[in-house]
Structure 1
Amino acid sequence: MINISESAQTHFRKLIEREALPGLGVKLAAVNPGTARADVRLEFAEPGDLQGDEWAIDCEGFTLWLDAASVNYLDGAEIDYETGTTGGQLQIRAPKIKGEVPSDSASLVERVRWVVDNEINPQLAAHRGHVAVQEVTADGAVILRFGGGCHGCGMADVTLKQGIEKTLLEKVPGVTAVRDATDHETGDAPYIPRDVA
């Protein structure tokens, strides 16, 4: 499931011994898993810090606790500690942390959400914006709600038609249209105000 190199185990063991706290271990969790913003959080954990549903991986001299909700995203992760001339560096590789591209047999909703979360929203984040999938209708229409800098933005229609709709029609077979359900009049921090565009 998770591969922890000998050098990483030695590194953790030294740090834990230095702290000298009974039962101290290391906890690994995925933050924002399944999204383009996914990352790994690694921290020391005492028994009282645990929720009780963590998975325990026994290492020599300590326990690595794996956050239960992160298990699928951290499956196949590798933790290594590489030493160099200027010191050492801990490296964590978690190939599934951003999720896995849904198969062609996955539901239309799953495939749309994947493209929105992993391709569209990272681009909109450059303008402090994002979209959320409100609904995918039986006939393949995707209904979106704009948020952040896109809510009330004067360029939201262009973003919808020339960016989002084009991407979804191209990358997600079964999508027939993309519609905006956002009340743009209520946007309080648009990237480009509507009266300017």
Structure 2
Amino acid sequence: MIQISEAAKAHFRKLIERESIAGLGVRLSALHGGTQRADVRLEFAEPGELSGDEWVIDCEGFNLWLDAPSLPFLDGAKIDYEAMATGGQLQIRAPKIKGVVPGEDAPLPVRVQWVIDNDINPQLAMHKGHVTLTEVTADGIVVLNFGGGCHGCSMVDITLKQGVEKTLLEKVTGVRGVRDATDHASGSAPYMARSQD
């Protein structure tokens, strides 16, 4: 599951010994796992700071705790340490941190959500907006709610047709259309305000 090199173990042992705290170990977790914003968090932790559902790897002198909800994103991760003249560099490679693209056999809502999380919302975030999947109907219509800067924006119809719908039709087999279920009149901070005619 997780590989930690001997050099990384030795590096952590040295740091832990310096702290002189009984039971001090290292906790590894995924932040925003399965999304484009995903990153790893590596931190020292004492046993009393654990939630209790962590997986434990005995690293001969300290424990490496893996955050249970992060396990799918940390599978196959490698931790290494490279000594250099100026100190050293810890390297963590987690190839599944941003998730794994669902296959064509995955349910349609799962494939739609993947594209929303990894393609659509990162683009909308540039205008402080996002979409939330409400449902995928039996005939392949994706129903969305716009939020943030897209909620009440005068350009939302263009965003829906030329951005969101176009992306979903191209990338997700089985999608037949997209519908906006947002009450845009209640938007309080649109990216581009609607005219008050």
If the length of structure 2 is used for normalisation, what is the TM-score?
A: 0.97
Residue matched to 2:146: 146
Using the alignment, how far apart are the partners of 1:142 and 1:195 within structure 2? Answer: 28
Using the alignment, how far apart are the partners of 1:160 and 1:51 within structure 2? Answer: 41
User: Could you give the per-residue CA deviations for residues 138-169 of structure 1, whole angstroms, max 9, x where no partner exists?
Assistant: 00000000111111111111010000100101
Using the alignment, how far apart are the partners of 1:147 and 1:126 within structure 2? Answer: 13
* Secondary structure of 2:72 counterpart: helix
* Secondary structure of 2:178 counterpart: strand
Using the alignment, how far apart are the partners of 1:52 and 1:26 within structure 2? Answer: 14
Give the deviation of 1:30 after TM superposition. 0.8
Using the alignment, how far apart are the partners of 1:14 and 1:188 within structure 2? Answer: 53
Listed as ranges, the gaps of 5+ residues in structure 2 are none
Give the deviation of 1:31 after TM superposition. 1.0
* Secondary structure of 1:165 counterpart: helix
Residue matched to 1:82: 82
Residue matched to 2:46: 46
Using the alignment, how far apart are the partners of 2:78 and 2:157 within structure 1? Answer: 43
1:65 maps to 2:65: yes
* Secondary structure of 1:154 counterpart: coil
Q: How does 1:170-181 map to 2 (within 5 A)?
A: 170-181=170-181
Q: Provide the aligned C-alpha RMSD in A.
A: 1.1
If the length of structure 1 is used for normalisation, what is the TM-score?
A: 0.97
Moved more, 28-37 or 133-142: 28-37
Residue matched to 1:32: 32
Q: How does 1:77-156 map to 2 (within 5 A)?
A: 77-156=77-156
Using the alignment, how far apart are the partners of 2:118 and 2:104 within structure 1? Answer: 17
User: Could you give the per-residue CA deviations for residues 17-71 of structure 1, whole angstroms, max 9, x where no partner exists?
Assistant: 1110000000001111111111111111111011111100010210000011111
Using the alignment, how far apart are the partners of 1:79 and 1:191 within structure 2? Answer: 42
User: Could you give the per-residue CA deviations for residues 82-119 of structure 1, whole angstroms, max 9, x where no partner exists?
Assistant: 22232212111111111100011000001000000001
Give the deviation of 1:78 after TM superposition. 0.6
Using the alignment, how far apart are the partners of 2:149 and 2:120 within structure 1? Answer: 14
Using the alignment, how far apart are the partners of 1:159 and 1:86 within structure 2? Answer: 49
Residue matched to 1:191: 191
Residue matched to 2:168: 168
Runs of 4+ in 1 over 3 A off after TM superposition: none
1:121 maps to amino acid: N
Residue matched to 1:16: 16
* Secondary structure of 1:65 counterpart: strand
2:189 maps to amino acid: A
Using the alignment, how far apart are the partners of 1:128 and 1:121 within structure 2? Answer: 10
Using the alignment, how far apart are the partners of 1:129 and 1:71 within structure 2? Answer: 29
Using the alignment, how far apart are the partners of 1:72 and 1:167 within structure 2? Answer: 27
Listed as ranges, the gaps of 5+ residues in structure 1 are none
Using the alignment, how far apart are the partners of 1:11 and 1:28 within structure 2? Answer: 15
Using the alignment, how far apart are the partners of 1:149 and 1:82 within structure 2? Answer: 44
